[in-house]
């Protein structure tokens, strides 16, 4: 009667790789649906636009403080609203239930 030791592998081990076996390339299921990814891209674009609007404000003279440029509507109101809206869209895209696929007969 042979037993497995620490240095020898057990007799009935599965080969390493995909846990479910071979998956045909045409039948891969994604975690989210196409609509979810579309919403995610839209949210990401809004976050990027808000970040670009928030950036800037460099003055040619570093000793001079330009209050109107730093505290402008664009930086104080518009950019943060776009960023928060982008994150809300991202949350919606993650929580949205994907549409059921119709099976082809």
Domain segments of the chain as ranges? 31-95
Tell me the range of 5-9, 33-37, 85-89 where mean pLDDT is highest. 85-89
How confident is the model over 65-100, as pLDDT tens digits?
888 888 889 999 999 999 999 999 999 999 988 877
Which whole-number Å values give the CA distances from 92 to 8, 27, 41, 67, 84, in the listed order?
51, 26, 12, 37, 12
pLDDT of 26 > 90? The answer is no
Q: What percent of the chain has pLDDT over 70?
A: 69
62 versus 25: the higher-pLDDT residue is 62
């Amino acid at each position: 009667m042979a037993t497995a030791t620490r240095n020898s592998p057990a007799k009935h081990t599965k080969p390493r790789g995909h846990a479910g076996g071979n998956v045909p390339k045409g039948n891969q299921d994604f975690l989210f649906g196409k609509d979810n990814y579309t919403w995610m891209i839209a949210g990401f674009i809004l976050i990027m636009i808000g970040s670009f609007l928030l950036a800037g404000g460099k003055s040619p003279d570093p000793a001079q403080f330009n209050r109107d440029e730093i505290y402008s509507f664009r930086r104080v109101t518009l950019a943060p609203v776009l960023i928060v809206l982008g994150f809300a869209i991202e949350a919606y895209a993650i929580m949205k239930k994907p549409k059921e696929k119709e099976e082809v007969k």
